[in-house]
Chain A
Amino acid sequence: MGTLRIPLTLSRSILPITTSSPSSFLLQKHDRRISPAMATAKPLSTDALKQGIAEFYDESSGLWENIWGDHMHHGYYDAGSTVSVEDHRIAQIRMIEQALRFASVSEEPNSWPKTIVDVGCGIGGSSRYLTKKYSAKCQGITLSPVQAERAQSISKENGLSERVSFQVGDALDQPFSDGQFDLVWSMESGEHMPDKLKFMSELARVAAPGATIILVTWCHRDLLPSEESLQPYESNLLKKICNAFYLPEWCSAADYIKIAQSLGLEDIKSADWSSNVAPFWPAVIRSAFTFWGFTSLIRSGWKTVKGAFAMPSMIEGYNKNLIKFAIITCRKPK
């Protein structure tokens, strides 16, 4: 994977603002405040984590939507490409299509999924796309009441509100009876789940016999057979990111595969798409440091700003082959 050339320190030269403006002063102040806090971050309790996640998305959803549209996930790019915000929307759609193709979801209308669950649905980008594509019914769950409400109104604006609905709910305790859904979809929400086994068990539980489960998520690299854990510098880097994005401890794609096997799921497949999402972060940073992006960021609140400052750490993680963007798909036995 190519090295991403982006300044890892937030230099004033990126900002089209003069040194004397209030905004750049604010930038320096925040810069000094963040590093010590993030370096000594303690892991959050599950309750605090869930609340943090809900509040983080309550606060930052609006900004994300303004810049990136209603899909709150990475775009899929050709490895090594340089991209701009304008490309991102198409790439986000491409990500969904690539995931469906990887999972071998049938292209035959008679075999299309009729019911879909979007676990960690954000403001419903995937839900709406999948509902339209398959003429299906979709239910989305999110911890954030703000997101659920926003998801609902966007769906209404798009004339889809009868087929796609959103609930405030917990992916670790999904409010559905067993075997409801033909397609179980988790696009970049797995990283928020504090108990990966419970998370996957719920995905498997609500999947109908023969259903497809698609999980696209950030992981850390697989450990070598000789390793018990990550190197200390790797754990420290992940801790910084966890604190900013309200993430619990990371696991690897190999861990997810092991869990899927232990749950008796079949046809388990996995791939490393890190090089296909790498162009995303520099584009996000570039957009954050346009004048408009920056002032919107500051207006969004502390949690969002903290998240923004963790972005260089994400790039560092990708560059050091520590952070992986993985897809894991499988099938519930018939």
Chain B
Amino acid sequence: MRLLTHNMLSCNIKGVTNGYPLTIEASKWMAKEVDFNGDFLRNIFVKIEWKVLIEAAKVMGYTDLPVEVDSSMLNSDEFLQKFHHALLEIHVEEGALICPETGRKFPVHKGIPNMLLNEDEV
């Protein structure tokens, strides 16, 4: 699971109003090199919750992302490389995503989050 995916996932247990963002707990993770695609990064930038990405990257040990961002930074190759690394190259293989409100853990296995709710959570 990449941080790009994490940026979009939330907990939908019935009654939960504060199910985003999920906290990452990684027992196995790695950095995997991914081909750089500036167009994709520029396109996806507007859809990213930046604070969530920074926090997730920090939890995974990457602290190089700037706190304040604006779209003019998309012209900077240096920024794009950092954005690219945080968004696409940090890969959680095993672990869990934790709901901020209930503490419920959604397992991540072989890089795939299992977001299925139990009978009593629906």
Contacts and interface: CB of A to CB of B under 8 A. Distances in A.
A175 B112 contact: no
Interface stretch (A157-165, A212-220, A305-313, A322-330): A157-165
Nearest to B97: A175
B88 interface: yes
A136 to B, nearest CB: 7
A149 interface: yes
B117 A170 contact: yes
A229 interface: no
Nearest to A163: B40
A135 interface: yes
B5 A167 contact: yes
A145 B114 contact: yes
Contacts of B40: 135, 137, 163
B11 A175 contact: yes
A176 interface: yes
Given A114-B47, A115-B8, A177-B19, 5 more contacts: A115-B44, A135-B43, A148-B112, A173-B122, A175-B10
Contacts, number: 82
A137 B44 contact: yes
B112 A149 contact: yes
B2 A162 contact: yes
- Taking each of A115, A170, A177, which has the highest tally of chain B beta carbons within 10 Å of its own beta carbon? A177
Contacts of A148: 112
B116 A166 contact: no
B110 interface: yes
Interface in A35-68: 47
B34 A114 contact: no
A168 B43 contact: no
A130 to B, nearest CB: 14
B30 interface: no
Contacts of B110: 149, 152
Interface residues of A, number: 30
A137 B4 contact: yes
Contacts of B106: 175
Contacts of B46: 114
Contact of B12 (A47, A139, A143, A175): A175
Contacts of A177: 8, 10, 19-20
A165 B5 contact: yes
A167 B112 contact: yes
Interface in B67-122: 88, 106, 109-117, 119, 122
A168 B40 CA distance: 25
Interface in B1-59: 1-2, 4-5, 8-12, 19-20, 34-35, 39-40, 43-44, 46-47
A148 B44 CA distance: 23
B47 A115 contact: yes
A176 B47 CA distance: 13
A300 to B, nearest CB: 22
Nearest to B13: A173
16 contacts: A114-B43, A135-B39, A137-B40, A141-B115, A145-B109, A145-B112, A161-B34, A163-B40, A165-B2, A168-B116, A173-B122, A175-B9, A175-B11, A177-B10, A177-B19, A180-B8
Of the candidates B1, B46, B88, B116, the one having the most CB atoms from chain A within 10 angstroms of its own CB is B116
Contacts of B88: 162
Nearest to B46: A114
Given A47-B119, A114-B43, A170-B117, A176 B112 contact: no
Interface string A271-301: 0000000000000000000000000000000
B13 to A, nearest CB: 9
Contacts of A210: none
B43 A170 contact: no
